[in-house]
Amino acid sequence: MCSLLSNATADEQFAKLVRSGEPNPERNLVNLAGDDSVEKSEGLGRYLYPVKQWSQLNISKVQKYRKGRHRYYILGHHSECQYKVIYMLVFKSDADDTPEKKNYQNMILKALGDENFRKLELPQLADQQENS
């Protein structure tokens, strides 16, 4: 069972999703990460893919996960048994999803600099929902 962490940048974006009426947007990611292990990628790791435009850049280890209209940018691998959500593009439009552009890459670099992570866990998510 792999863990999922979130930095303050991603937390702000999770909060935006909650304000828009999406309950517990982290739950799906936590469940998927929990399905992975050091030996096998049976959850989140199966859905992550590298961003081709970043193959030669220092952000090349960041991978993308698509869920509906949202894009999650995640560091980590099942062999490390830990994933870190560093940035989310919430309610993306095609004009927003431009990883080849320098300003987009700078957003990801800035998010990478935010190293204050918290662990996302299912019991915490349930407590947050009850307190809302």
Domains of the chain: 3-123 (3.30.2310.20)
Q: What phi and psi values does residue 131 have, to the nearest 5 degrees?
A: -80, -10
Q: Give tens-digit pLDDT for 34-61.
A: 999 999 999 999 999 998 888 767 788 9
H-only helix segments in 21-117? 26-34, 44-47, 102-112
Tens of pLDDT, residue by residue over 56-100, are: 677 889 999 998 888 999 999 999 999 999 999 888 776 776 888
Which residues, in sequence order, are bridge partners of residue 116?
none
One-letter amino acid of 67: K
